[in-house]
Homo-oligomer: A and B are copies of this chain.
Amino acid sequence: MQRLGILLSGRGSNFIAIAKAINEGRLPNAEIAVVISNLPEAPGLEAARNLGLPALSLPSAGRKRAEHDADILAALRQHQVDLVCLAGYMRIISPEFVAAYPNRILNVHPALLPAFPGLDAQAQAFEYGAKVAGCTVHFVDEQMDHGAIILQRTVPVLDEDTVESLSARILEQEHLAYSEAIAHVLSGDFHLVERRYLRRT
């Protein structure tokens, strides 16, 4: 059994999708070891408690990044976490954190990276007039929205879309893509050629 550590700052819809995938047997060798939020009021923490999962609030407000990240690392180690999954975690993580879990920190971003990194990716794509949008699951490295890409899924942008309808369509794919990517990373059946994530055959 491999143990996931979830970091979130909001409602954690991607965390809930991961929990659901585990319950439905789509992530057969994984369990959620701990859910950590940097915001005490994040609804995702409450959702974790409702699912009977260990839920920790480690507030980042007023703390230095390195110190806060050290607290998170200590909590992840205490819970024997194998793979860290960012799920709407609105913090840049420190190089020390990245180095502690090499190719063991995942993130999902609501755009086809390298297009539309950063905040409000869906609105960026909408306003740019992109005809194809999507999501990217990637390893986390020292740069924002930058690490090697594990998988990407596309959705069309429709003429009748609003930012909200487009975001909802992308979010559906995030929920599917994230569990699929976690399962594949946990299988270990991959290797990296520079930035290219290649599945072993």
- Could you tell me which A residues sit within 8 Å of B by CB distance? 112-116, 126-132, 134, 136, 148-154, 159, 194-199, 201
Contact = CB atoms under 8 A, between A and B. Distances in A.
Given A129-B197, A130-B152, 16 more contacts: A112-B115, A113-B115, A113-B130, A114-B115, A115-B115, A129-B148, A129-B194, A129-B196, A130-B149, A131-B151, A132-B153, A132-B154, A154-B154, A159-B198, A159-B199, A159-B201
Query: Sorted from nearest, which 5 A-B pairs have the closest CB atoms?
Result: A129-B195, A129-B196, A131-B152, A115-B115, A132-B152
Contacts of A197: 129
A149 B129 contact: yes
23 contacts: A112-B112, A112-B115, A112-B132, A113-B115, A113-B130, A114-B116, A114-B130, A126-B196, A127-B194, A127-B195, A128-B195, A129-B148, A129-B194, A130-B149, A131-B149, A131-B150, A131-B151, A132-B134, A132-B152, A132-B153, A159-B198, A159-B199, A159-B201
**Does more than half of chain A's interface fall in helix, strand or loop, or is it mixed?**
mixed
Contacts of A130: 112-114, 149, 152
A141 B125 CA distance: 19
A126 B128 CA distance: 23
A128 B152 contact: no
A38 B198 CA distance: 41
A132 to B, nearest CB: 5
A128 B114 contact: yes
A60 B20 CA distance: 61
Contacts of A126: 196
A127 to B, nearest CB: 7
Nearest to A198: B159
Contacts of A153: 132
